[in-house]
């Protein structure tokens, strides 16, 4: 298998130009996030989340946003080769300079704040908050999210409180949360969180595991990604 091409059931993802390759986080949020008619994918990278949302929501028009020009070229290449080319637009611009109104926003954002940065500059930008802080992300989301829209994000579990605090400042409320353990015996490592502008009547919380003790995918993970993984 060509390591620079990741094949899904309905599309392929070339990733030779991108600092961040196809990973579990992107697949999880792409399969879990709530969509709409007008979707924004912040930090689109290879375009994988944009294409997953296009597959799940056939009526949706999608914008993939990325500050890295090479990532935008890669995403465009992937999208042009897919069946979703007429519904996805790639924009090479920073979130802070982007305008629009969306009923669904999704992101697998940079989240390392104080750790040692990757030596590769593009990988550092993709992984660290040096160009997109939590404050900037949630401010931008609040500015562009429609009144009844949703924002879905995947983050390390230790970042959840920070996101909740910044969301509250930006007028966003946590409405749905999925805590994820790699295996049952390990602590929660990732959170998928959904925010909205309307205060929810209830907060829906679930906890899931990715892998069984024999290293096979859990039933939840299999069901969530059944339409994507070969």
The H-or-E segment that residue 195 falls in is strand 188-196
**Percent of the residues in the chain that have a pLDDT greater than 90, as a whole number:** 86
188-196: average pLDDT: 98
Check pLDDT > 80 for residue 128.
Answer: no
For range 47-60, the mean pLDDT:
98
Residues with Cβ within 8 Å of 48's Cβ and at least 6 positions away in sequence, in order, are 6, 13, 22, 26, 27, 30, 78
pLDDT at position 126: 42
pLDDT band at 130 (very low <50, low <70, confident <90, very high): low
pLDDT digit string, tens, across residues 2-45: 778 999 999 999 999 888 889 999 999 999 999 999 999 999 99
Domains of the chain in sequence order:
21-222 (3.40.50.150)
Read off the pLDDT of each residue in 102-131 and give the average, rounded to a whole number.
63
* 62: pLDDT strictly greater than 90: yes
pLDDT tens per residue, range 65-101: 999 999 999 999 999 999 999 999 999 999 999 999 9
More confident residue, 104 or 2: 104
C-beta of residue 53 within 8 angstroms of C-beta of residue 10: no
In the chain, pLDDT over 70 holds for what percent of residues? 90
* Cα within 13 Å of Cα(82), Cβ side: 29
CA–CA separation, 101 and 173 (whole Å): 18
Q: Average pLDDT, whole number, for the chain?
A: 92
Query: What count of Cα atoms within 13 Å lies in the side-chain half-sphere of residue 89?
Result: 9
Grade residue 127 by pLDDT with cuts at 50, 70 and 90: very low
**pLDDT tens track for 160-184:** 999 999 999 999 999 999 999 999 9
């Amino acid at each position: 298998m060509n390591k620079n091409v990741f094949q899904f059931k309905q599309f392929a993802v070339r990733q030779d130009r991108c600092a961040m390759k196809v990973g579990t986080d992107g697949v999880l949020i792409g399969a879990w996030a709530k969509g709409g008619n007008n979707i924004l994918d912040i930090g689109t990278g290879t375009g994988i989340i944009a294409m997953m949302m296009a597959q799940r929501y056939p009526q949706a028009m999608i914008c993939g946003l990325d500050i890295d020009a090479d990532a935008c070229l890669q995403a465009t290449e992937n999208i042009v080769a897919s069946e979703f080319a007429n519904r996805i637009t790639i924009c090479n611009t920073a979130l802070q300079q982007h305008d629009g109104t969306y009923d669904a926003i999704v992101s697998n954002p940079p989240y390392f704040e104080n750790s040692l940065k990757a030596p590769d500059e593009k990988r550092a930008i993709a992984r660290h908050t040096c160009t997109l802080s939590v404050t900037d992300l949630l401010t931008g989301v609040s500015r562009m999210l429609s009144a009844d829209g949703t924002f879905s994000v995947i983050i390390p579990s230790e970042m959840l409180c920070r996101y909740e605090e910044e969301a509250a400042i930006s007028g966003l409320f946590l409405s749905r949360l999925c805590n994820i353990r790699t295996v049952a015996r390990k602590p929660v490592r990732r959170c998928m969180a959904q925010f909205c502008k309307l205060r929810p009547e209830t907060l829906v919380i679930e906890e899931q595991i990715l892998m069984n003790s024999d290293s096979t995918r859990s039933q939840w993970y299999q069901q969530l990604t059944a339409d994507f993984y070969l």
